[in-house]
A and B are shown apart, each in its own frame.
Chain A
Amino acid sequence: MIDTEFFNQLNRFSLMVRKRVSSVYAGSRRAVLQGKGIEIVGYREYMPGDDIRTIDWRVYGRTEKLYIRKFEEEKNVTTHILLDSSKSMDFSSSSDGTTKFDYAAMLACGFGYLVARENEKFAISTFDEEIDITPPKRGRGYLLHTIDRLNELQLQGTTRFDHCTSQYSKMIRSKSLVVIISDFLTDLDSIRAGLYRLAPNDLIVISVYDPAEYDLSIEGDVKLYDMETNDIRKTYISPKLRQDYKTQLDLHFGGIRETCMHIGADFFSFGTDLSIFDAFFKTVKAR
């Protein structure tokens, strides 16, 4: 269940960080590109290949020369939030039952809340084996509607990260802010391919994990059930196996971090025991 009480904390937080991040969010940002838009910033002589619809015929009438209008690009930036809804996100070891998905959804809604406050468009889409694409919209009402949708969402399936990002990237029309929140428990090559695909955007990658999942705080003979695939494995968790498991985990997330550095994305990794406020603080501070 998504707890919306933390939105108040974000109110205080957003006031505190607004000045520092005033150029982060789309609504306050000056676009440097010129292209399609409303406000005319100037004219230049027509060159073959230019869109003939941009020819200002009134200037032609006065000067008998073909001039085209130059517009300022739309300044607003849409925020796309991709939220992992695979079955592995249903894991929880905390006493209050907060799953990784609950935590990730709160992060997603937090970003949505901040964007909605700026009256910018945002979309929170969930993905597992397929992606459930929701169109970007403005307003708090849309945020509340999204929260209800996430609360009712049934987590299932594995994660096809490359496939889902491939589907989603097709609907991003201009450079946007893309936030990916997942446990990234899938093949590293698939993750890399997905991240490279979204690299042209302003990308924030957030990994969510459960502390018990990382520490593997179990020992002895166990029968393990894979939450995504329902595979069963009997094994003996020895200290050495646990150490090897952690090593594998570190290698995996090290690979994701390295990819993010390469494409200029911001990478964060939060355990579900970390407060949402602290998680937002770290994210915003880094930007």
Chain B
Amino acid sequence: MAFANPLALLALLSLIPIVILYLIKPKPKEIDIPSLMFIMDAERRENRYQTMLNKIVRDPLMLMQLLFLILLSLAMAAPYFLATETVRADHTAIILDASASMQAEDPGRFDLARQAAEKFVSGKTSIILAKNKQVVALQRGGRADAKDTLRRVQPGATTANIGDAIILAKSMIEGGEGGEEKGAIVVISDFANVDLGAISASKMLANAAGIDVVYKQVGNDADNIGITYGKLERKGDKYEYFCNIKNYMDDTKTIPIEVLRNGKNILGERVTIPAHSSELFALTDLKPGETDVALQHGDALSVDDRAYIVIPAIAKRKILFVSENANPPAKIAIGSLPDTECSVVKPPVLPEFGNYDIVVIGNITKDSLLPGTFNDLASFVGSGGDLAILASDGISKIKTEGLLPVGMRASGSAGSTVLNKGIPTEFTKDIAFDDISVTRHLKTEPLNNSIVNADDGSSMLAYQQSGAGVVLYSGFGEGDSRWNDFHTRVDYPIFWRQVVDWMSGVLGIDEYNVKTGRTYPLGGEQDVGTPSGAIRTDNLLFDDCGYYQIGKMDIATNLYDPLESDLSVSIMSEEARTLEPDLVKAEVEKELWSYLILLVMFFAGFELYYLRARGEL
């Protein structure tokens, strides 16, 4: 035993005068008394323990006073001893697996995890929901906060990245109270299809920082049939959907499937799936709106029993193509796009631009356009219209009123070049510009934010925001073999589809049908409708299956994860299966002063009681 304040032991010297006082106390008077009979009777009426005390010590008051002073002195010296023992952590970070598989079984694995987590709540508790992105539900909260948080949290429909959650918990523990506090991390999960390598690595990192990591496993093997994959593809004006339905059970199952459009049943099917196999289920001729594919059977996990499909209703986009040529390749590519109405107009007389969504200026000469045409185009773009200017011999000689995103050089055109990609954009993804053979191009001033560049620094593809609209410059022209062979390549119509979709703000169908776990930056706080209710956020995490409403846009989210749908559990050790708190083993300073103070108070109280019992108070 050691003392934090050993100087206080000098207070024990105060015992000496007490002992001396009692030593010099006069001897008891010797008195003859006619009979002791009544004295003894009176003594019998006194407290039995007091009588016993009297037998043990001659003067219990002296003993009490000595003990009082000794204990007080010891308490002041703050004694402690070091003990290696199991203690609760100062700060416990509880990681709850909130993946889709935790929704399985009845009672649910997540409910079991939540109940187990309550037992691990310590003085300070942090709660992290391990999804594919970590969600901090509580940071360094008190006992009541922790229990309240545990009542509120719900599992998601994503995968779980437990390894990253451990790293986050480690940093949260290390960040508190100068790293002095004792921390522990408790991971409560079904550990079904998790990345054990990443978890072990994270655990080792935490252990190296002196933080104990405890695994607690919930759940048992469970049967499931679920939709593990889904894909929506456009076929002309229609969409096709096909999905994979997997049977994780040990016997063949025939399950009914219902298809619902905007909530109404439109189709009923039955599918037979052999044990541990998958069957493909396809839907054709899907129309805009919401379509659900529901597996009508009962199993341990419901989140993968329904696929949600959304097809946005897109209005036809009207495009004005201005060109001296009657049917240039660019016009053909644009005209072939779905939901698009493209008309070619030969200058100089042009229709009202306001009737179109996009205006494309193709092959023109210096005198093709009437004066003021670009002024009208500037107004059109400023009010939200989009403009594409394609390279042609005449364009460098026309005043474009600052609409052209690139500066033309006076030297005119240049010969063959190799193309280099600049900044990536949505509309240039998957386009192989490197393979395009360029034999002639217009020379432009070098541009920092150019999307595709020629060897000489000329920009081949660039855009700029102008008012509420966008102006795109394409150095590839409207499709002339004397300039390049882009218009002959397979990705040429793709390029134009992506440009038109980008300009008209239409996303690809995959942007409307996403897998859970994806985040969606909203650029500012806004109200969002989720499958479980409305929330307000600036960065949306799709962690639930169903339909989300972001403004006027509907987005369908699905689990589509064969690993999460697999509810088989590898049973871990008995220790991990025991959902009781394991305590952190550590060498701790056991302080005794508080106990001593309690004893001091007890003796003070007892001395008062004793004096009162003797009738001296």
- B29 nearest in chain A by CB position: A222
Q: Which A226-267 residues sit within 8 Å CB-CB of chain B?
A: 226-229, 231, 233-236, 238-245, 247-249, 252
Instruction: Name which of B25, B32, B33, B36 has the most chain A CB atoms within 10 A of its CB.
Output: B33
Is A220 an interface residue when CB atoms closer than 8 A count as contact? yes
Question: Knowing A233-B40, A236-B614 touch, does A241 contact B46 (C-beta < 8 A)?
Answer: yes
CB <8 Å contact, B38 and A221: no
**B369: shortest Cβ distance to chain A, in Å?**
122
Interface of B is mostly: mixed
Question: Knowing A233-B40, A241-B614, A244-B45 touch, does A222 contact B28 (C-beta < 8 A)?
Answer: yes
Q: Considering the chains assembled together, what is the distance between the CA atoms of A89 and B35 in angstroms?
A: 10
Is A183 an interface residue when CB atoms closer than 8 A count as contact? yes
CB <8 Å contact, A220 and B28: yes
Residues from chain B with a CB closer than 8 A to the CB of A243 are 615
Set B33, B46, B614: member contacting A213, Cβ < 8 A? B33
Is B250 an interface residue when CB atoms closer than 8 A count as contact? no
Q: Which A145-186 residues sit within 8 Å CB-CB of chain B?
A: 183, 185-186
CB <8 Å contact, B614 and A240: yes
Interface of A is mostly: mixed
Question: Knowing A240-B613, A243-B615, A244-B42 touch, does A226 contact B29 (C-beta < 8 A)?
Answer: no
Is B84 an interface residue when CB atoms closer than 8 A count as contact? no
**A14: shortest Cβ distance to chain B, in Å?**
32
Residues from chain B with a CB closer than 8 A to the CB of A242 are 42, 615
Is B37 an interface residue when CB atoms closer than 8 A count as contact? yes
- A187 nearest in chain B by CB position: B37
CB <8 Å contact, B35 and A226: yes
Set B29, B31, B59, B615: member contacting A238, Cβ < 8 A? B615
Set A221, A225, A239, A249: member contacting B33, Cβ < 8 A? A225
Residues from chain B with a CB closer than 8 A to the CB of A235 are 39, 43, 54
Question: Knowing A226-B33, A241-B42 touch, does A221 contact B615 (C-beta < 8 A)?
Answer: no
Is B455 an interface residue when CB atoms closer than 8 A count as contact? no
**A70: shortest Cβ distance to chain B, in Å?**
52
Residues from chain A with a CB closer than 8 A to the CB of B36 are 224, 226, 229, 231, 233
CB <8 Å contact, A183 and B34: yes
CB <8 Å contact, A228 and B35: yes
CB <8 Å contact, A225 and B32: yes
Q: Considering the chains assembled together, what is the distance between the CA atoms of A244 and B46 in angstroms?
A: 8
Question: Knowing A238-B614, A239-B614, A240-B46 touch, does A223 contact B29 (C-beta < 8 A)?
Answer: yes
Q: Considering the chains assembled together, what is the distance between the CA atoms of A98 and B27 in angstroms?
A: 28
Q: Considering the chains assembled together, what is the distance between the CA atoms of A239 and B614 in angstroms?
A: 6
CB <8 Å contact, B31 and A241: no
Question: Knowing A185-B35, A224-B33 touch, does A239 contact B28 (C-beta < 8 A)?
Answer: no
- B42 nearest in chain A by CB position: A244
Question: Knowing A239-B615, A245-B42 touch, does A227 contact B33 (C-beta < 8 A)?
Answer: yes
Q: Please, what's the 1-or-0 string for B24-67, where 1 marks a CB less than 8 Å from any CB in chain A?
A: 01011111111111111111011000000010001100000000
Q: Considering the chains assembled together, what is the distance between the CA atoms of A122 and B487 in angstroms?
A: 162
**B493: shortest Cβ distance to chain A, in Å?**
112
Is A21 an interface residue when CB atoms closer than 8 A count as contact? no
CB <8 Å contact, A221 and B28: yes
Q: Considering the chains assembled together, what is the distance between the CA atoms of A252 and B41 in angstroms?
A: 11
CB <8 Å contact, A238 and B34: no
CB <8 Å contact, A249 and B38: yes
Question: Knowing A185-B37, A228-B35, A241-B46 touch, does A218 contact B29 (C-beta < 8 A)?
Answer: yes
Q: Considering the chains assembled together, what is the distance between the CA atoms of A249 and B29 in angstroms?
A: 22
**B617: shortest Cβ distance to chain A, in Å?**
10
CB <8 Å contact, B29 and A213: no
CB <8 Å contact, A245 and B615: no
- A237 nearest in chain B by CB position: B39
Is A7 an interface residue when CB atoms closer than 8 A count as contact? no
Is A88 an interface residue when CB atoms closer than 8 A count as contact? yes
Residues from chain B with a CB closer than 8 A to the CB of A236 are 54, 59, 614
Q: Which B589-617 residues sit within 8 Å CB-CB of chain A?
A: 613-616
Residues from chain A with a CB closer than 8 A to the CB of B614 are 236, 238-241
CB <8 Å contact, B34 and A248: no
CB <8 Å contact, B39 and A240: no
Is A91 an interface residue when CB atoms closer than 8 A count as contact? yes
Set A225, A231, A240, A244: member contacting B31, Cβ < 8 A? A225
CB <8 Å contact, A245 and B32: no
Q: Considering the chains assembled together, what is the distance between the CA atoms of A245 and B326 in angstroms?
A: 134
Residues from chain A with a CB closer than 8 A to the CB of B616 are 238-239
Residues from chain B with a CB closer than 8 A to the CB of A249 are 38
CB <8 Å contact, A247 and B32: no
**A249: shortest Cβ distance to chain B, in Å?**
5
CB <8 Å contact, B38 and A222: no
Set A100, A183, A225, A248: member contacting B30, Cβ < 8 A? A225
- B613 nearest in chain A by CB position: A240
Residues from chain B with a CB closer than 8 A to the CB of A229 are 36
Residues from chain A with a CB closer than 8 A to the CB of B41 are 244-245, 248
- A228 nearest in chain B by CB position: B35
CB <8 Å contact, B613 and A213: no
CB <8 Å contact, B33 and A240: no
**B610: shortest Cβ distance to chain A, in Å?**
10
Q: Which B472-506 residues sit within 8 Å CB-CB of chain A?
A: none
- B611 nearest in chain A by CB position: A238
Set B25, B39, B59: member contacting A224, Cβ < 8 A? B39
Q: Considering the chains assembled together, what is the distance between the CA atoms of A210 and B35 in angstroms?
A: 12
Question: Knowing A233-B36, A241-B614 touch, does A247 contact B31 (C-beta < 8 A)?
Answer: no
- B37 nearest in chain A by CB position: A185
CB <8 Å contact, A245 and B34: no
Q: Considering the chains assembled together, what is the distance between the CA atoms of A241 and B45 in angstroms?
A: 9
Q: Considering the chains assembled together, what is the distance between the CA atoms of A115 and B257 in angstroms?
A: 132
Q: Considering the chains assembled together, what is the distance between the CA atoms of A182 and B37 in angstroms?
A: 16
Report which A residues bind B (CB closer than 8 A).
88-89, 91, 100, 183, 185-186, 210, 213, 218, 220-229, 231, 233-236, 238-245, 247-249, 252
Question: 22 A-B contacts, Cβ less than 8 Å apart?
Answer: A91-B34, A221-B59, A223-B30, A223-B31, A224-B32, A224-B36, A226-B35, A226-B36, A234-B28, A238-B615, A239-B614, A240-B615, A241-B39, A244-B41, A244-B43, A244-B46, A245-B41, A247-B42, A248-B38, A248-B41, A248-B42, A248-B45
Nearest 5 interchain pairs by C-beta: A240-B615, A239-B615, A238-B614, A244-B42, A88-B34
Extra A-B contacts (17), CB below 8 Å, given A88-B35, A242-B615, A244-B45: A91-B32, A183-B34, A186-B35, A221-B25, A221-B59, A222-B30, A224-B31, A224-B36, A224-B39, A233-B39, A234-B58, A235-B39, A238-B615, A239-B616, A240-B614, A241-B42, A241-B615
